[in-house]
Amino acid sequence: MRNFKNWAWLFLFGSLWGINEVIFGKILFKDSMLFATVWLAAWAFFMLAIARGVLNKPGSSTVIGIFAVIFKLANTAPFFCHLLGIFALGLVFDVFSTFLMKNERKVSYRSSLSGVLSAYGGFTLFALVITYFVRYEYWIAGGLAKVIHHIFVNGSFAALTAIVAVPLGYWIGVSGGALAERRPRWTYAGALVGVVILWTLGRIVG
């Protein structure tokens, strides 16, 4: 991914993911909304899938997750468990989409399968790392029951949203990417402007 234009796309999608975490994440967690992590994950998978349709390259989803982490870290109070959750989703989606959606230029069952596996995989990775490696007090107090609930209850609802969000996002990404190739300068400029707007908004509302 040496093309600077590709990095602009990744930065844009990471910022789109990040702004949702900053604005709606704050609202959902402040009001203790039921399944807050599920709704945030649904948007994350939607953004990751669009980006994969535009730029279907190994490592791209992980980079987007890192940019989303940086965005949230820069624009709101640092809750490191939330940052770990964002990174875990990006990393796991990267793994499954690389194997299942590589060279795919149309929506198929593979995109839905990537979403389902990424939901369970991402929620599992987060729960295990935050509880048994980071040993975050809140998760240690909940014990194995909290880990299982997060994986099989929250993870299952996230998987249900991903069944729709990933193929829809991928279709939008493939279609939009084809249009972007016809006007590369305009779309590249638009991506940069979008990044500036999102970061400005993040600083205002964060």
**Whole-angstrom distance, CA of residue 167 vs CA of residue 52:** 11
Task: Tell me how far apart the alpha carbons of residues 181 and 68 are, in angstroms, rounded to a whole number.
Answer: 25
Share above pLDDT 70 across residues of the chain, in percent, rounded to a whole number: 99
The reported pLDDT for the residue numbered 201 is 94
Tokens of 201: 């908004």
Average pLDDT value for the chain: 92
Check whether 118 has a pLDDT greater than 70: yes
Given a contact cutoff of 8 angstroms between Cβ atoms, the answer to whether 203 and 23 are in contact is no
pLDDT recorded at residue 52: 95
Q: Decide if pLDDT at 1 tops 70.
A: no
Residue 169 has pLDDT above 90, yes or no: yes
**Other Cβ atoms closer than 10 A to 68:** 28
Please check the confidence at residue 29 and state whether its pLDDT lies above 90.
no
* pLDDT tens-digit map of 47-88: 999 999 999 999 999 999 999 999 999 998 878 899 999 999
Q: Amino acid identity, residue 121?
A: G
pLDDT of 2:
60
- Rounded Cα distance between 130 and 138, Å, is 9
Q: What is the pLDDT of residue 31?
A: 74
Q: Mean pLDDT, to the nearest integer, of 160-176?
A: 95
